[in-house]
Structures are given as C-alpha cells and as structure tokens.
Amino acid sequence: MTLTRHLSHAALGLAGAALLTLTASAQARELSVSTVLSDAFPWGQAAEKWAELLEERSGGELTLRVYPNAQLVSGDQTREFSAMRSGLIDAAVGSTINWSPQVPELNLFSLPFFIPDTAAVDAVTQGEAGELVFEAIARRGIMPLAWGENGFRQISNSSGPISAPEDLEGLKIRVVGSPLFQDTFAALGADPTQMSWTDAQPALTTGAVDGQENPLSVFDVARIDQVGQEYLTRWNYMNDPLVFAVSQQVWGSLSPEEQTMLRETAQEAGAWEIAMTREQESERLAAIEERGVTVTELDEAEYQAFVEATMSVHEKWASRIGEDLMKAAQSAIDAR
C-alpha cells in the first residue's frame, strides 16, 4: 500500500511538472524582426542586440527572432513597412529611407545637406521633430519604440574625385528606390539610376554604373572598393536613422509589462548601436584609405556649393514632409 501511494504521488508530481512546462511553453512568445542587413553590419547588430536584451530581461518568455537581408519580404526592403502594418512581420529595425514611401514625413532625413552633423541628428530625433515623426509612424499603424542609426551617406565613384557639383555631371549614380534621391542627383547634374544592391554590384564592376552612395559602414563591410569604387567623398549629404518598431496588432496584444520591456530594450539597443556606429567611423575610414581608395574631404565653401545646388529639392519636398515638422527640425538644428 505504501509503495503504491509513493508511486501515485510520483506520477502526480511528474504530471504536474509536465503541465507547468507546457504552460510555460504556451506563455512564451516569439516575435519576428525584419532587418535589411545582417549582423556583419551595425544595422543587423542592432536587431541582434535588441533580441539579446529582451530575452534576458523577460527570462525567455518574450523573444525576438531576427530575419536579416529583408528575407520576410523576398528582398524587397521597400515592402517592409507595409508587411509589418498588415501583420506579416511582427517588428523591424527599419530605415527611414525604406519606410518613406508609406510615411512621407520620414523624407525629412533624406533632404540633401539639411542635417549636417551628428549633433544635428540628435537634436532632431530627440526633440519635438522626433516626436512628430514618431506620431506620423504611429498614425500609419506601426508603434515606433526607439532610434538607431545607419549613418551619414557618402558618395563614391570610379571616375575621379568629387569636390564640386560639376564633378557629378553626367555620372550614372546608383540610388535607392526613392523619388527624393532621384531629384537630388538630378539637381546635381548626375544621372540617378535606381536599382537593387544585387543588381548594382555587377553594374559597378562592369562600369555600367559609375558610382553609388552608402554609409561608411556599408562601404567598408561590403568591400565596395572591390567593385571599382576608387574615389570616395565624405559629404554627409544625408543621415539615415533607423527605427525600432512593432506592429500595432502585436503591441496591443502585449501586457503593459511586456510593452515596457520591449520599448526599454529597443531604446538600450538603439543607444548602443548609435554609439558603436559613430565610434567606428574613423577606424572604417582609415581601413578604406589603406585599401587604396582616394578620400576627399569637403571644406566649408565646397560643402556650401552642394547646399546651394540642391535648394530646389528642399522647395519641392518641404510641403510633402510637412510645414510644422520642417520648422521643428530647423529650430532644433539651429539651436544645437
């Protein structure tokens, strides 16, 4: 009788443990996170850091699974925002450039020669202008949580140094799929050519396209110097902030505690990635120069020549971005 009772209690204990395990498994939740670049780049590392922090903070009950290289949208990064809004993607660390077709206010960051330095970036993103941008994203069905940074975009080419607008005359420059980029390079006398990066690499190698624009981190890690890009100009013509965000459907399904964890870990990952991206800038530039790339730095007069050459782009796009947002951003930059 005693042995039977012990066996019965043991069976009940095992059943209870199994039930607890099943309950814990049922409560654990994994969210998909889209990002355009892998963890070889700071952008991808930002998403991985977010996942790492959230798993630790939640004890594994709420986790993120990162899908790099825009694989959740078959490589079409401009569809990322729409896919998240429709629920096909739970969350993303996305580019303001890629999301600008759905959120016109994000074109603020793509205005040529508008945000001149990192102090201006911080003044815009961390102030009233940043709040207005986040409100614009939220109105489109996405909950923005934090800022990251892909960095200032620089221009490279295979023909020669670029230090004045006339140096771009007639050059075929690969650009991302944004009308604002088309307008910017057309205003500078170049021939903007829209294509995916997959198509751009062989086009640069064969000389079908003369140049491209990307942050130093992308130029360095992707070894763009190996596809004929022998000349690089640091002109900081636009900055590409990243946005950590989650779909409104997912956000609404989370408890207040989970929402707090998701937001706080996104903010921590964003701050970590921004600091890392900026700290690595000089090191990346040195590595690029060591590989034989000729780097051109603009002086103030040269920079202003590009500013003046692209003023028509500002006039065309300011109304699309929004008067209040433009004023808030300009005030933040002036007061930095």
Of residues 122, 51, 111, 69, the one with CA closest to residue 278: 122
How far is residue 209's CA from residue 233's CA, in Å, rounded to a whole number? Answer: 17
CB contact at 8 A, 68 and 39: yes
Which domains are seen in the chain, by residue range? 30-335 (3.40.190.170)
How far is residue 333's CA from residue 14's CA, in Å, rounded to a whole number? Answer: 64
How far is residue 297's CA from residue 216's CA, in Å, rounded to a whole number? Answer: 14
> What's the pLDDT tens digit per position in 252-284?
999 999 999 999 999 999 999 999 999 999 999
Predicted confidence band at 197 (pLDDT cuts at 50, 70, 90)? Answer: confident
DSSP states of 189-254:
T-EEEE--HHHHHHHHHHTSS-EEEEEHHHHHHTTGGGGT--EEEEEEEEEEEEEEEEEHHHHHHS
> What's the pLDDT tens digit per position in 50-109?
999 999 999 999 999 999 999 999 988 889 999 999 999 999 999 999 999 999 999 999
- Residue 97's CB is within 10 A of a number of other CB atoms, namely 25
- Residue 58's CB is within 10 A of a number of other CB atoms, namely 18
Here the tokens at position 143 are 């909950």
Instruction: Return the pLDDT at 14.
Output: 43
> Residue 4 burial by CB count (10 A; 0-12/13-18/19+): exposed, middle or buried?
exposed
Instruction: Return the pLDDT at 16.
Output: 46
User: Cα dihedral sign for 132, 178, 145, 274?
Assistant: negative
> What's the pLDDT tens digit per position in 199-214?
899 999 999 999 999 9
Q: Which residues contact 93 (CB under 8 A, 6 or more apart)?
A: 33, 34, 35, 43, 46, 47, 50, 148, 242, 243, 244, 245
